[in-house]
Amino acid sequence: MWKFIKEFFGFFDKPEVTVPKDTRREDITELYKTILGREPDKDGLDWWVNSQATLDEIRVEFMKSDEYLAKITPAPEPVAEVKPEPKVEPKPAAKPASKSTPKTAAKGRPKKTK
């Protein structure tokens, strides 16, 4: 029993705990699917599996990538096409009334005749 306890607690004293590459490969593949929404490419997956980066660091890098940022950035709203107003030629100005217009009947009321 003491041997088991010593081994159990001694596990935490080890400076590095290495994760088997198959498990690491699966974990990184899951990050690709979850964050980037796609299967990993072979070269990229191999690079990350062999890197010294932790899964948390790989997550920060995926979430800073252009690919991820393009996924989460909303597309711009479509802009309605604005058509220019049709060109309207100005109407020619009306000719001023001539000053020689005949005058109306005499001012006031007409006189009554008996």
3-state secondary structure of 73: coil
The domain limits of the chain are 19-72
Top-confidence residue, 72 or 88: 72
Q: Give the Cα separation of 64 and 110 in Å (integer).
A: 99
- Number of Cα atoms under 13 Å in the Cβ half of residue 98: 3
3-state secondary structure of 104: coil
Q: Average pLDDT for residues 86-110, to the nearest whole number? A: 66
Q: Is the alpha carbon torsion for 40, 46, 48, 49 positive or negative?
A: positive
Annotate 34-58 with DSSP letters as a single string.
IIISSPPPHHHHHHHHHSS--HHHH
Residue 84 is predicted with a pLDDT of 81
What are the pLDDT digits (tens) for 34-57? 999 999 999 999 999 999 999 999
